[in-house]
Amino acid sequence: MQSPLRVVLCLPGNLFSGIFLECISNLMFFCFKSNIQILLSRKSSNNVYFVRNLCLGGDVMRGENQKPFNSEIPYDYILWIDSDMVFSPQHFTQLLSRQADIISGLYLMEGGKLFATCKDWDEEFFKQNGHFKFLSPEDMKDAKEPFEVSYTGMGFMLVKHGVFESMEYPWFRPFEKRIGNMVDFTMEDVAFCLKAKEKGFSVLVDPLVRVGHEKRVVL
């Protein structure tokens, strides 16, 4: 008999809307029906690096060679879900079907014009604009197959066991980046993608998975 799939749902955050609670309830019910074992890991902090490390059971007292959950929780995948995502069980199963080490869905950033995904690490574009080029809905209108990216947001990202285990603690930390005469530090999702690539993993995005991004609008 095949062992059930084991998935840890990592939910950084402290405030969850009714829409989110409905989404996560539907996902958990689907997993129970599908014989997928799930564990929920929710932590909160004002520090985005710290809260993601906490979600993985990180403890500064255990040093840099520690593993997620102190190797006490067996799992096959970690599904990162930000507290403002709007999603369905089908989004999860679509990512799962790709059997990738790291794969994310697409979602629009605040403003609704660009996805939180950067395909190319174009430093010339950065020098001219002060940021990298994010993908637009027009860029993705005909895309159907997963593709590799330089980095993407972790709002709805599936990570296979072995990825974080290959990294030293803290798994999420800022990196200083210098481009031309400009210097900046990376956010936690960018830093994770860069670190994963250094370890030999590809970061993929599935264009068929487009989740919602819940934002407040003042009228």
Q: Where are the beta strands (DSSP E) in the chain?
A: 6-12, 37-43, 77-81, 85-86, 102-106, 117-118, 147-148, 151-152, 156-160, 176-179, 182-185, 204-210, 212-213
Phi, psi of 52 (to 5 degrees): -70, -40
When pLDDT is averaged across residues 110-116 and rounded to a whole number, the result is 93
β-strands 204-210, 147-148: how paired? antiparallel
Q: What architecture (CATH level 2) is domain 6-213?
A: Alpha-Beta Complex (3.90)
Range in 73-87, 148-162, 204-218 with the lowest mean pLDDT: 204-218
106 closest CA partner among 128, 60, 58, 138 = 138
Which residue's structure tokens are 């481009």? 179
* High-pLDDT (> 70) share of the chain, %: 99
Region 143-157: mean pLDDT is: 98
DSSP H stretches of helix in 76-214: 89-97, 123-129, 188-198
Contact status, residue 191 vs residue 173, Cβ threshold 8 Å = yes
Domain residue ranges in the chain: 6-213
Report the range out of 119-128, 155-164, 168-177, 210-219 with the highest average pLDDT.
Answer: 155-164
Chain centre to alpha carbon of residue 56: 13
Kindly report, residue by residue over 197-218, the tens digit of the pLDDT: 999 999 999 999 999 999 887 7
The residue ranking higher by pLDDT, 82 or 121, is 82
CA–CA separation, 1 and 17 (whole Å): 39
